[in-house]
Amino acid sequence: MSARIIDGKTISADLRGKVADAVHRLRRDRGIVPGIAVVLVGNNPASEVYVRNKSKAVAEAGMHAFDRKLPATASEAELIDLIGKLNADKEINGILVQLPLPKQIGAQKIIAAIDPDKDVDGFHPLNAGRLASGLPALVPCTPMGCILLAKTVRETLAGLEAVVIGRSNIVGKPVAQLLLAENATVTIAHSKTNDLPAVCRRADLLVAAIGRPEMVRGDWIKPGATVIDVGINRIPGEGGKSRIVGDVAYPEAAKIAGAITPVPGGVGPMTIACLLLNTLRATCAQNGLPAPKV
* Chain residues in the site for ligand GUN (CB under 6 A): 96-99, 121, 141-142, 271
| Strand pairing category for 226-229 and 242-245 | unpaired
All residues at 6 or more sequence positions from 249 whose CB lies less than 8 Å from its CB, including other chains: 214, 215, 216, 217, 218
Of the chain, the end-to-end C-alpha distance in Å amounts to: 35
Question: Nearer to ligand GUN by C-beta: 22 or 230?
Answer: 230
Catalytic residues: 54, 98, 121
Question: Nearer to ligand GUN by C-beta: 253 or 276?
Answer: 276
Name the residue number minimizing CB distance to ligand GUN: 99
CA distance 137 to 184: 19
Question: Nearer to ligand GUN by C-beta: 99 or 199?
Answer: 99
Per-residue 3-state assignment (H helix, E strand, C coil) for 144-199? HHHHHHHHHHCCCCCCCEEEEECCCCCCHHHHHHHHHHCCCEEEEECCCCCCHHHH
Question: Nearer to ligand GUN by C-beta: 50 or 250?
Answer: 50
Least CB distance from residue 140 to ligand GUN, whole Å? 7
Find, among 34, 175, 44, the residue nearest to 98 by Cα.
44
